[in-house]
Amino acid sequence: METTRKHCQIIAPISGRTIELSKVPDPVFSERMTGDGLAILLENDKVIAPCDGIITLFFDTKHAFAITTATGVQVLVHIGLDTVILNGKGIRALYEPGQQVKAGDVVLWLDLGLLRKKQINLISPVLIVNYESVSNMQPLRPGELVTIGADPVIEYDL
């Protein structure tokens, strides 16, 4: 019996340069405790849904959200490494948990000036939380400049 694999992509939720996850200066991410993927050095003031699905997690501080796809893959977008200290200041969420999103929908607006003024590290991990449920996962190589909504940053098979 032959099984057919479905090839899937996660698009860039922000614009910036890609960083290998092991180089992120936070062990929660570099040691893949919360998932596998890559990070992007944030360069713009909006964050979009990187895939279709339902928002299944939104931190009260709005610095991170997860989308679960129809196939059960959970994608986490974490804005900056220490944005949690702002307690939601400078981040405006346009969705709530339980709401459906399509790839490209704006999920967050950021006050980039405030984030920079507060010296927030803008390295932003994009992860597949349940990466053991996918195969042939390929994050984009480090050092690539990606454009929000245009470039695939993680590819995988189901």
Closest by Cα among 42, 49, 58 to 113: 42
42, burial (CB in 10 Å: exposed 0-12, middle 13-18, buried 19+):
buried
| Dist CA 78 CA 117 (whole Å) | 19
Question: Among this protein's residues, is 63 annotated catalytic?
Answer: no
CB 73 within 8 Å of CB 130: yes
Out of 78, 80, 83, 148, pick the active-site residue: 78
Catalytic residues: 78
